[in-house]
A and B are shown apart, each in its own frame.
Chain A
Amino acid sequence: MLRIEDVTVRFDGSAAVDDASLEVGRGEVVAVLGPSGSGKTTLLRVVAGLQAPDSGRVLLDGVDLAGTAPHRRGIGLVFQDHALFPHRDVDGNVSFGLRMRGDPPRRVTARTAEVLELVGLTGFEHRSVGSLSGGEQQRVALARALAPEPTVLLLDEPLGSLDRRLRDGLLEDLGQLFDELGVTAMYVTHDQTEAFTLGDRVAVMRAGGVVQVATPDELWSHPADADVARFLGLANVAGKEVVRPEAVTVRASPDGNGTVESAVRTGPLVRLRVALDDGRALEAAVAAVDHPAPGDRVDVTIDPEGIVRLR
């Protein structure tokens, strides 16, 4: 439905987006994942029409969007740091798109209430934007973008400025929302959890180019190259081989083949760094409550299924 073909954008000589191509199907959520400076925001702005590409094109349902002004594209955008209109209250913000296209007042009120309910902000119509918390502001921004039922919804790191708990809660809500509404969306983030949770497919960007597009499972099991693997948070990347931490079994054993260097609990899992006698270092993810401590001798075995060959 949305097709980005070989888009390049240059700023001062260097390419911010370099020959990027991507397809988003109807009702699909594609997460664009990449570190800062990888060009993901610029790509989003090109799709929204806020930035003209130096080459390449964007097609919506087969129609080239070149020459169509942003306000005619029917593409919504949720900005990083919300960009809510400070001189309007919540209602003024959310109903903005509806008023711009001339909906009758009754319809506007109804739809505004509907959308506010969707994001869990019922009754917030007359609150001033400045008095809202960060999470509330982001939800208003979302509601505002959703209200006019855009063909495509673009989101630029919308959860970036929120604390963990808020983010996780909103993440869940967003996921549900996307499913319910069957939204066609591009979701830009640098956070892997967000990308994997929301994205039907994930596009990894690096230095302006799209490096890999795959479902979360595929991406996790077969990262395209070492950089992608490292970016995904995979440890144990050595050359063309990656050993999954879950595939490393560690058992306490006085005459084992390695020593535990560190043990860090990251919630349900414990990450153990083990220095093997043969010089290698491996990271293991262990689910047991009882686990070896630093300095213990352990026996390390690797499940061959857990070895990934990089392309």
Chain B
Amino acid sequence: MRRRTWRAVTYGVPLAFLGLFFVYPLAAILDRGLRGAGDPPLDVLADPLTREVVWFTVWQALASTVLTIALATPAAYVLGRYRFRGRSVVSAIVVVPFVLPTVVVALAFLAILPDGVERGWAPILVAHAFFNVAVVVRIVGTFWANLDPRLGEAAATLGASPAQRAREIVLPLLAPALAAAGAIVFLFSFTSFGIVLILGGPRYATIEAEIYNQAVRLFDLRAAAVLSLVQLACVVAAVWVATRLERRLVVAGGLRAERDTLRSIRTRREKLVVAASLGGLGLFLGLPLAVLVERSLAVGDGYGLDAYRALAEPTSILLASPWEAIVNSFVYAAAASVIAIVVGGLAAFAVADTRGSRLLDLLVLIPLGASAVMLGLGFLIAFDTPPLDIRAAPWIVPVVQALVAIPFVVRIMVPTLRSIDPRLREAAALLGASPGRVRREVDLPIVARGLAVAAGFAFAISLGEFGATVFLARPDRPTLPVAIFRFLGRPGEVNVAQAYALAVVLMAVTVLSVLLVERVRMRRGGWF
């Protein structure tokens, strides 16, 4: 493929996609909101309440990010260093919390935490960490596994203690992945909605919650629009900082294929470290999940599989049997993953290019931080006239899910793409490979692992996606998270149990899907 065509495609496709399905609806709703007579829009900004909300949103997101990285690092280390049986299973299981709807997780947390500690900012931070550990473990862990271990060894022979090695060698080389993962966690925590409401109690509110309040409860679209802009501004700023950091931190070279870097666990000390890291994380993630499982099995005073059996029966609240919800989720997630991989993959190549566009870099990440409420409403009014009357089209759902998944794909692949030694590409070119061929033979094998991780993520995200699509009318094809939510909306023990049972099913499906996607690897190792 000629270079110019390649550039056109890698820039054009993502831009077109984002332009049509993100910028256009968002602009439509903002326009609707800001227009019209009334108080000047800055009214909302002057309100001290607004300032409080913005401040809280920002600092809890920062704190959540720091906490998440701290908790995730031991497991990322283990995945980045050692080869052991069950490695991919661990990597897949970590994703489970990420996928669960916030309502379910919040209830599980509430069940565990002792009475006095339930509400406040601390449970919010912990819950955010619970959800987002997956992002850090997988992104950083994958990147770590590609670092050349000889660099650390060289440092050791030069007298660097393990702590010094971590500081001088590992940290700087790992920094791009940390920045990428940190940015994503920040964005998720920033726009977090359900967790803050449920675990924080009425005293804590984020910008997103306020937007929801204004748009839906009070139908004050103007205030909602202004707040969205504030939120967008914060998000753009955060993303700009993160991408800048990432760019600056990237160092070409120092990467090798996983086959050559992972070691088996030999000494007792190593075994201890691995056990402690994975065990610790397992406990942290496992406890709330165990509560879910236990609750799903609770029948009357004892335990049984009744709730699971009930899932096979159609129920009027879903207008279908819950199993259909599972199938729906699967199909939507598959479609969304394909879209995300294609669009996101192309964007990643464009961004990672040495003369890559900063704009695309930013643009791709922003949907993560945009208000789900506003986006959903935007879809309603933007796509209401033929030929674009696609509000009720079923494929709108995977498109919106892909919007959330694309940033992940890009963020995962870009640091890896950038770190590929350019000499390898040059060598391939000199051996007669066209630019397209170079991509295939050099880049793809190295980023293959990253691609698999990205695909797994995209799939998991789409499975558990709840926020962005909540405002899109879904023809009677509920997805799993929606089904769980609906079951929870009714009193009665059987309903609750079914909700939990569905949550357990969602967990299982997630793990299996992610494992499956990761099995698809590039067998041909290319240079490595």
> Using a CB–CB distance below 8 Å, which chain A residues touch chain B?
48-50, 52, 69-77, 79, 83-87, 96-97, 100-101, 129-130, 144-145, 148, 150, 154
Total contacts A-B at CB 8 Å: 83
Q: Are B159 and A83 in contact (CB under 8 A)?
A: no
- Interchain nearest-CB distance for B168 vs A (Å): 7
- Of all chain A residues, which has the CB nearest B172? A87
Q: Interface residues of B: mostly helix, strand, loop or mixed?
A: helix
Expressed in whole angstroms, the Cα–Cα distance for A130 and B421 within the complex equals: 9
CB nearest to A150 among chain B residues = B157
CA distance A50 to B150 in the complex (A): 10
- Is the Cβ of B157 less than 8 Å from the Cβ of A48? yes
When A83-B148, A86-B251 are in contact, do A148 and B156 touch as well, CB less than 8 Å? no
B154 touches A52 (CB 8 A): no
Interchain CB contact (< 8 A) of A85 among B151, B156, B162, B252: B151
| Residue B164 at the chain A interface, CB threshold 8 Å | yes
Cβ of A96 and Cβ of B158 under 8 Å apart? Answer: yes
Determine if B154 and A100 form an interchain contact, defined as CB atoms under 8 angstroms apart: no
CA distance A48 to B156 in the complex (A): 9
CB-defined contacts of A52 to chain B, threshold 8 Å: 266-267
Q: Using Cβ atoms and an 8 Å threshold, which residues of chain B touch A86?
A: 151, 173, 251-254
A85 to B254, CA, bound (A): 8
Q: Which of B150, B151, B157, B160 has the most CB of A within 10 A?
A: B157
Q: B159, B161, B254: which contacts A148 (Cβ < 8 A)?
A: B159
15 further interface pairs, Cβ-Cβ under 8 Å (given A52-B266, A96-B155): A48-B157, A50-B156, A71-B161, A72-B159, A75-B157, A77-B153, A79-B153, A83-B150, A83-B153, A86-B252, A86-B253, A96-B168, A97-B158, A100-B159, A150-B157
CA distance A74 to B160 in the complex (A): 11
Given A76, A85, A129, which contacts B157 in the complex, CB threshold below 8 Å? A76
Bound form: Cα–Cα A52–B268 in Å: 13
User: Is A148 in contact with B158, judged by CB distance below 8 angstroms?
Assistant: yes
Q: Report the separation of the CA atoms of residues A150 and B159 in the bound assembly, to the nearest whole angstrom.
A: 10
Question: How far does the alpha carbon of A150 sit from the alpha carbon of B151 in the complex, in Å?
Answer: 18
Contacts of B168 in A (CB 8 A): 96, 100
Most buried by B among A69, A70, A85, A150: A85
A97 to B164, CA, bound (A): 11
Report whether B254 and A145 are in contact in the complex, using a CB–CB cutoff of 8 Å: no
Q: How far is the CB of B271 from chain A (nearest CB, A)?
A: 14
Bound Cα distance from A79 to B155, whole angstroms: 11
Query: Which B residues form the contact surface with A (CB < 8 A)?
Result: 148, 150-151, 153-162, 164-165, 168-169, 172-173, 251-254, 266-267
Contacts of A49 in B (CB 8 A): 156-157
Given contact pairs A83-B148, A130-B252, A70 touches B154 in the complex (Cβ within 8 A): no
- Given A50, A79, A101, A154, which contacts B159 in the complex, CB threshold below 8 Å? A101
- For the complex, give the distance between the alpha carbons of A70 and B161 in Å: 9
On whether the beta carbons of B159 and A97 are closer than 8 Å, the reply is: yes
Contact check: which of A71, A87, A154 meets B160 at CB < 8 Å?
A71
Q: Is there contact, CB below 8 Å, between B160 and A96?
A: yes
Determine if A76 and B158 form an interchain contact, defined as CB atoms under 8 angstroms apart: yes
Cβ of B64 to closest chain A Cβ, rounded Å: 29
Residue of B nearest to A101 (CB): B159
8 chain-A/chain-B pairs, Cβ below 8 angstroms: A48-B157, A52-B266, A71-B164, A73-B157, A79-B153, A85-B151, A85-B254, A86-B173
Find chain B residues with CB under 8 A from A101 CB. Answer: 159
Contact between chains at B151 and A83 (CB < 8 Å): yes
B residues within 8 A CB of A72? 159
Residues of B within 8 A of A97 (CB): 158-159
Contact at B159–A85, with CB atoms within 8 Å?
A: no
**B159 near A77: Cβ-Cβ < 8 Å:** no
Contact A77 B254 (CB under 8 A): no
In the complex, the answer to whether B172 meets A100 with C-beta atoms within 8 Å is: no
6 tightest CB-CB pairs across the interface, nearest first? A97-B158, A86-B253, A70-B156, A100-B159, A77-B157, A87-B251
Assuming the contacts A83-B148, A87-B172, A87-B173, asked whether A77 and B154 have C-beta atoms less than 8 A apart, the reply is: yes
Min CB gap B48→A, angstroms: 45
A145–B159 touching, CB < 8 Å: no
Q: Whole-angstrom distance from the CB of A31 to the nearest CB of chain B? A: 20
Of all chain A residues, which has the CB nearest B161? A71
Partner of B158, one of A87, A100, A129, A154: A100
Q: Please give, as numbers and ranges, the residues of chain A lying within 8 Å of B156 by CB-CB distance.
A: 49-50, 69-71
CA distance A258 to B169 in the complex (A): 65
Q: How far, in Å, is A289 (CB) from chain B's closest CB?
A: 40
Complex: A72 Cα to B164 Cα, angstroms = 13
A307–B150 Cα gap in the complex (Å)?
46
User: How near does chain B come to A255, taking the closest CB pair, in angstroms?
Assistant: 55
Residue among A50, A73, A84 with max Cβ neighbours from chain B (10 Å): A50
Contact present for A85 and B164 (CB under 8 Å): no
